[in-house]
Amino acid sequence: MFTFLFMTGLMATVALEVDGMATVTLEGVIGVKGHDLKNIDLPLRPTLTRSTGEVNGPALLRSLQKTLDKYHSTAISATSANSVNSANSVNSANSANSANPSLQPRLVTENLIDQVETPDFDEDYYGPIQVGSASEQVFTVQFDTGSSDIFIPGPQCTTQKGCPGTTKYDQAGLFQGRSTLVQYGSGYIQGDDYIDSITVAGLTVTDQGLISTTQTSGFNTSNSDGLLGMAFTSIAASGFTTFFENLIIQQKVAAPEFSFYLGRAASGTANQGSLCLGCRDPSKYTGSFTQVPVTEPGYWQILLQTVTVNNTPAGPHTQGQAIIDTGTTLVLAPTAAAYAIFDLIPNAFSIPSSAYSHQTFFAYPCATPYNYIPSIRFGGKSFDINQLDFNLGFLTSEFTRLLGNESLGNESLTVNREAEYEYGENCVAAIVGTNVSPQENLYVVGDAFLKNWYTTFNYVNAGGGPSVGFAEAV
């Protein structure tokens, strides 16, 4: 049973007028333009495109591996979730209002820093949090809708143990007498479980569970110190209630939703990314929202109806489920669906690979018209992928060598082979074919799609359940 059923009595639409300002009406939550903005900067990730315009093969493969690891992980906790977490469960707040009316006029946002490398490709978005009520240590974390735990580096986690940052958690919180280990396909994170206060954009959760990392492998490529998961508590490896669900329980937000605007360096908005807690920022989007119900709370997973190219559906293989994940750079599509999509893009082709036999990369002519860039249909509406985000850079012989294809990657390629693959004329696409789940047609829809659409993650939509909403980003 989904634990947020107590909120089903919320009004689906709220109107508000503050200090004579124009009324802003949103489905489920309010943001008042220009009123009490608090920004959290989210810097950019390492680029997937080099300054030459070529695909950054090593960065692309690291980004892909990071996502695959996340969805093929195993959590091991020394003990079950303790009584602190149980006391903070959403079920214990049945009598509480999910929105605090006194907070509704306030637009609480974190400005997201976009970790960028020339020439203007965004890979990660992160921002600051404060940990502890006395010391208020500041860490930069990635805000990730594809996971549910909070990791920050502990004092035992040195550079040699996978934590290169200089700020370490002072462990002034309450130790829970247990540790959490998350094992991934190519790495792991291990740490001790603590309860402490955490503040984001001026909003403080007391008694928040977190993991003080003791050692990690394979997760030191980001400029952030750690991670703050924003998926549902049900998939938290530690068993702790998530930060945002605790904000709801403790009545710290105006409404039970949060929203992301992801900046794009190539459009001059790299430093304008933001996370809005309990609100939507009207300055970041235009038009109305399309609300799509969550089909399986855990991840923010919704029905993907089809993928179209030049207004042509790519076929029944493209229907499936989609996890909306701000912690993923790419769009991962089931392999059969990916082939069906690229079959509709003129002169597109798969890139042979022996090193990555379970993933399929695709290239297409860099000069492909915009109408042949794929669109994804959610909730009866097609949403475009921006051409700037679909193009990861020129296909190079270096990248094909990284994929284990020596015949393509050999510098002494024949004239015919050079002409066939036209290095410098073809570009690597941001959609990668891989079967994340063998049981269902499962997509992971990341930043390559989300930068074009202001995205709201709502725990209670008009139908009473959680939903994801999309509106055109400005």
278 Cβ neighbours under 8 A, 6+ residues apart: 29, 99, 103, 108, 203, 247, 252, 253, 254, 255, 256, 257, 258
Query: What would the two tokens of residue 37 be?
Result: 């903005």
The question of whether 196 is a catalytic residue gets the answer no
Cα within 13 Å of Cα(337), Cβ side: 30
Q: Do residues 110 and 272 make contact, with C-beta atoms less than 8 angstroms apart?
A: no
The question of whether 225 is a catalytic residue gets the answer no
The long-range contacts involving 346-353, CB below 8 angstroms and separated by at least 24 positions, are: 346/372, 348/429, 349/426, 350/433, 351/395, 351/399, 351/400, 351/403, 351/405, 351/408, 351/428, 352/400, 352/403, 352/405, 352/408, 353/403, 353/404, 353/405
The CA R_g of the chain, rounded to the nearest whole Å, is 22
Beta partners for residue 116, in sequence order: 122
Q: Is 49 left (phi over 0), alpha (psi -120 to 50) or beta?
A: beta
What CA–CA distance (Å, rounded) separates 217 from 144? 19
The one catalytic residue among 196, 325, 384, 389: 325
What CA–CA distance (Å, rounded) separates 159 from 180? 20
Burial of 401 (0-12, 13-18, 19+ CB in 10 A): middle
Indicate the pairing of strand 137-144 with strand 226-229: parallel
Query: What would the two tokens of residue 413 be?
Result: 């390629």
What CA–CA distance (Å, rounded) separates 180 from 192? 6
Query: What would the two tokens of residue 282 be?
Result: 């009207």
Residues catalogued as catalytic: 144, 325
